[in-house]
Structure 1
Amino acid sequence: MKRKLQVMTTLLIIALIINGLATAPCTAAEPPSQLQNPQTDSRELQLQDMLVLQLLPYMNEQLEAAYFSLLTTTPQLYPYLVQVEQVERLNGFRGFDFQITLRAFPTVGPHNSVGEDLFTYRISTSQIKLINYKHLKEPKQHNIPPNDLDMRRKSK
């Protein structure tokens, strides 16, 4: 009986420790302040998020090329760090030719922000085409921790 009590107490302590570690605060960088963070879900937000998920591969491809001269690693783009700026129907009501503008905040390492980019895509039934890409902000040295500074390419 005493042995069972010791085992149960030990398991309870281990469970509490593991639970405490699992709920420890995250030390990753906060999302950029320009990013709107909705507090409730909506049908519109769900549809925007689905669209962002479909466009992420295209956006990552463009980021890889744009950041090649700035970073030694390809930045990551997470869906929650992409904001839909504008959506427009190009051929009237119920037309299926859209133009969408997205603001993105790519990261490296443990979510260290390395810039800001603006993408404009044209989406129709037959294609997804990048219309405009604008690199708005460069990686700043103070955004990258000292142990990850080797991710920045040296300026010439």
Structure 2
Amino acid sequence: MKRVSILIAITLSAFTAAIAQPKALKNFDELMAALNTGYNVRVVIHYAKCTLVADNELQDKSPDAIGGMTIDTYEYFAPKAVRGNEHAFVVFSENKLIQNPKGKGFVYNYAKFKVEDTGKVKVTVMYLDPNTQEELMSENFFTQFGDSTKEQAIYFYRL
């Protein structure tokens, strides 16, 4: 009886570990399917692998930083749902109070993602003063999602 209980416990543990593994999403359609069926989705971005535009100028190098968040609230827009958009896209954002990595004190770290059905991704990152809401820094990162011929900078995981 003891062996059967141990065998059942091991089997259940293995099964739980197997199903608890995040599933990498490979393209926009998989991302939208996961979001629209209620799965939790996590995004991880490697900024150093992105193209950076700051102060309206293309920068030579992006910071060697990695960020991640769980997509909580999102909005999907079908092609031509908004004037000027030929492609479907999804947008989501997050705002968190963090210690200022570029100075003293704290800042609100605001990150906004726009992912098009073409795989084009734009990430806007801002630091805002927590007292005045003044913009202290703004950067735009550009990359591609779902292109297996290029080194990925952004990953989505269904949890």
Could you say whether these structures have the same fold, taking a TM-score greater than 0.5 normalized by the shorter chain as the test? no
**TM-score normalised by structure 1 residue count:** 0.35
In terms of fraction of residues, the more strand-rich structure is 2
In terms of fraction of residues, the more helix-rich structure is 1
Q: Which has the larger radius of gyration?
A: 1
Q: Which has the higher contact order (CA 8 A, sep 6+)?
A: 2
